[in-house]
Chain A
Amino acid sequence: EAGVAQSPRYKIIEKRQSVAFWCNPISGHATLYWYQQILGQGPKLLIQFQNNGVVDDSQLPKDRFSAERLKGVDSTLKIQPAKLEDSAVYLCASSSRVGAGEQFFGPGTRLTVL
């Protein structure tokens, strides 16, 4: 079974630029999560999708972050404009159902904002 795929693996941008990350969850997994992991900290949930609908985006900084999952499969997370404090690893995870069950994580995208 293929795991969660993410790209790019690394990205370096200047502050105020825009950046987008892509995630393809495990086939058949209805629930998709985006996390932000700052160096030395645990992952922090940004947004959760069930199919193509948002279940929870209470911790997403909506003034600069946006995410979509148009066809209920892959997803993109965008930051516009980026700030220095956005430097982190952005992890995507998926699970087969909401409310319970193991979350499978992708390898993450390491973002550096200069």
Chain B
Amino acid sequence: GENVEQHPSTLSVQEGDSAVIKCTYSDSASNYFPWYKQELGKGPQLIIDIRSNVGEKKDQRIAVTLNKTAKHFSLHITETQPEDSAVYFCAASIGSNDYKLSFGAGTTVTVRA
């Protein structure tokens, strides 16, 4: 089955700096790669996603890049703010089924004021 590895497990950045989280996946048939943000006591919330026919996608301070050949994708957060502090999960579809996702173990991001 699909195996998603996520690094780093924890990340501490100074407010205003950038944060980068990287994920690798194993299933070459995966074609959908969402990123979720989970705040304490809440369920995960989709922040951005990318499909395999696109190499990069940006939404304000958040961007995701995908390298299908190398089977890795990354989340970039620029100009970090204290409210960006949360746990971030990457996920990859299992095969071409968008609904069936394999999640990474998560990255705890702390933005220092």
Chain A interface (Cβ < 8 Å from any Cβ of B): 4, 31, 33, 40-45, 48, 55-56, 91, 93, 95, 98-108
Selecting from B11-19, B67-75, B77-85, B94-102, the interface stretch reads: B94-102
Cβ-defined contact, B41 with A31, below 8 A: no
- 9 pairs from A and B in contact (CB 8 Å cutoff): A33-B99, A42-B89, A45-B100, A56-B99, A101-B98, A102-B34, A103-B46, A105-B43, A107-B43
Give Cα distance in the complex from A107 to B42, angstroms: 4
* Given A93-B43, A105-B45, A41-B106 contact (CB < 8 Å): yes
Residue among A41, A98, A108 making CB contact with B99, cutoff 8 Å:
A98
Least CB distance from B77 to A in Å reads: 19
Least CB distance from B47 to A in Å reads: 10
Cβ-defined contact, B99 with A99, below 8 A: yes
With a 10 A CB-CB cut-off, give which of B98, B104, B105 has the most chain A CB atoms. Answer: B98
Chain B interface (Cβ < 8 Å from any Cβ of A): 4, 6, 32, 34, 36, 41-46, 49, 89, 91, 97-106
Cβ-defined contact, A43 with B103, below 8 A: yes
Residue among B97, B102, B104 making CB contact with A99, cutoff 8 Å:
B97
Least CB distance from B69 to A in Å reads: 24
With a 10 A CB-CB cut-off, give which of B32, B41, B49, B100 has the most chain A CB atoms. Answer: B100
Least CB distance from A50 to B in Å reads: 9
Q: What DSSP secondary structure best describes chain B's contact surface? A: strand
Residue among A42, A48, A56, A104 making CB contact with B103, cutoff 8 Å:
A42
Give Cα distance in the complex from A4 to B84, angstroms: 23
CB nearest neighbor in B for A106? B43
Cβ-defined contact, B41 with A107, below 8 A: yes
Give Cα distance in the complex from A105 to B103, angstroms: 14
Cβ-defined contact, A102 with B46, below 8 A: yes
Chain B residues, CB < 8 A from A41: 103, 105-106
Nearest first, the 3 closest Cβ-Cβ pairs linking A and B are A42-B103, A105-B43, A100-B98
Least CB distance from A7 to B in Å reads: 14
Give Cα distance in the complex from A106 to B41, angstroms: 10
Chain A residues, CB < 8 A from B103: 41-44
Least CB distance from A58 to B in Å reads: 9
